[in-house]
Chain A
Amino acid sequence: MAAVRIPPTLRAEVGGLRELEARGGTVGDVIENLLERYPQLAGQLYSEGELATFVNVYLGGEDIRTLDGLDTPVYDGETVILLPAMAGGV
């Protein structure tokens, strides 16, 4: 099981939770597991079947794009951070 941090901008889609547990051997599997439960997240994370460019996913503090992308292996107890761009400053 990996912990997945849900950013505030996506919490409405997961019933307000800040962190969820999800199952999967890779980052892609973990996200798929999440989408099975919260299908409405898909539009916020994917664009044309790929991870949207305005969403970053981190594993152990590293952007998965600098690792093996969605194929990056996830081990028990690791934390996946979903991070969409956020502009607010006022």
Chain B
Amino acid sequence: MANYRELLARVKEEIQEISSPAAQELLSSADAPLVVDVREQDEWEEGHIPRALHVPRGWLEARIEGLVPDKTRPLLIYCSGGSRSAFAAKALGEMGYEEAVNLAGGFTDWKRNGFEVTIPRVLSSEQRARYSRHLLIPEVGEDGQQRLLDARVLLVGAGGLGSPASLYLAAAGVGTLGIIDADVVDESNLQRQIIHATDRLGEPKVLSAKRTIEALNPDVRVRPYEERLTSDNVDRILGEGWDVIVDGADNFPTRYLVNDASIWHGIPVVHGSIFRFEGQVTVFSPGAGPCYRCLFPQPPPPELAPSCAEGGVLGVLPGIIGSLQANEALKLILDRGDSLAGRLLLFDALGTTLDEVTVRRDPYCPVCGDTPTITEYVDYVEFCNAPVGRR
């Protein structure tokens, strides 16, 4: 039997330790170890060593292999005074980590030496609970959730696609959602536009959407644009600074306007479109991949434009396509996974099939090609006898 003091002394004999000045020097060298902070959440929130990985002591054995699979990677372990981390270093050694070195004197000594400290931006306890299922995913985690909270996504349309896309983005904690739509809620919308409700009939869609989103998640700020996107306002609206555009427009002139503007403003577009039982999704990344005009250089003549055919749409279809758009937007913000850039996904609800075709950047593309021929906004003639735009 050993008491705490004896146990600690014994453990310290079995592990390697390093002083703060030596650790600081080591961290600025080429083979810097990965720093692991084993303190509790409240201690971490008050400041930590830059770029440290935070794994509270109680979770260390359970989580470390998921976070640091490479056991040959050198680790520098610290707590506040160097005791808890001594036990942590011993445990890591027993788990096969070849070089788990303890920071003698811990974070207290590190600070006393005046070395750099990072004060983390932390989630509130309410946010920690709300986003707990995100925090559990290594690809999101606390850093990813902060990115989402800092992100700004612009939705073109608060209709079939915009409804599920904005709801999922809001639920995920995307901090700012801009929504452009000039329409009011109509009874015929409610079969699929799930962000609206029967008691909102006649209300501007952007305000109805704002109400639903704010009731879902108070972290989200909604910036409503109760106007139709035109060549006159597109620079003003896009110029407000957006990380991603989710295009759920219902007509070709807006699609082409969004495309051209997104290229000139350098904002990726998550494109979705639906008709009857079929939907398409892709991502257009300015500078990195094809654009909408690489896919379709120009709109079809008005008489062949299917958007005006009043063709109808299965209510759940925009739910599927809009959710895929939200998925792409979240991945772009988190910088995780493979985006749909360069791939057009074709979904058929009748057969429940998913096909994929390749979309390549066209060097002769009139907007994003090597020698662009379109350099200012084109107001295509409106379809379906709507007002005629100017050229």
Residue of A nearest to B272 (CB): A89
- Which residues in window 48-68 of A have CB below 8 A to B? 52-56, 58, 61-63, 66
Is the pair B359, A54 in contact by a Cβ cutoff of 8 Å? Answer: no
Given A18-B351, A86-B275, A89-B159, verify A8-B311 contact (CB < 8 Å).
yes
Within 8 A of B (CB), among A36-90: 43-44, 52-56, 58, 61-63, 66, 81, 83-90
Given contacts A44-B304, A81-B346, A84-B306, contact A89 B359 (CB under 8 A): no
Distance from B357 Cβ to chain A, minimum over Cβ atoms (Å): 5
**A83 close to B275 (CB less than 8 A):** no
A88, B250: Cβ atoms closer than 8 Å = yes
- Complex contacts, B350 vs chain A, CB 8 Å: 18
**Residue in B350, B351, B358 with the greatest tally of chain A CB atoms within 10 Å:** B358
Q: In the bound complex, what is the Cα–Cα distance between A40 and B359 (angstroms)? A: 28
The 8 Å CB contact of A84, one of B162, B300, B318, is B300
In the complex, are the beta carbons of A8 and B160 less than 8 A apart? Answer: no
Interface bracket on A:
20 to 34
- Give B306's nearest chain A residue, CB to CB: A9
- Interchain CA distance A5-B348 in the complex, whole Å: 11
Cα A90 to Cα B252 with chains together (Å)? 13
A86 pairs with B159, CB closer than 8 A? no
Q: Does B35 contact A (CB under 8 A)?
A: no
A89-B252 contact given A7-B278, A81-B346, CB 8 Å threshold: no
CB atoms of A54 and B272 under 8 A apart: no
Residues of A within 8 A of B299 (CB): 54, 85, 87
- Return the contact of B273 from the options A55, A61, A87 (Cβ within 8 A): A87
Pick the interface stretch among B12-20, B53-61, B66-74, B290-298: B290-298
Chain B residues near A56 (CB-CB < 8 A): 295-296, 357
CB neighbors of A among B336-390 (8 A) = 346, 348, 350-351, 355-360
Verify B300–A85 contact, CB threshold 8 A: yes
Distance between Cα atoms of A8 and B314 in the complex (Å): 13
Q: Which of A7, A53, A87 contacts B251 (CB 8 A)?
A: A87
18 interchain pairs, CB-CB under 8 A: A8-B311, A9-B309, A18-B351, A54-B300, A54-B304, A58-B357, A63-B360, A66-B358, A84-B306, A85-B296, A87-B305, A88-B160, A88-B274, A89-B157, A89-B160, A89-B318, A90-B189, A90-B193
Q: Which residues of A contact B (CB under 8 A)?
A: 5, 7-9, 18, 43-44, 52-56, 58, 61-63, 66, 81, 83-90
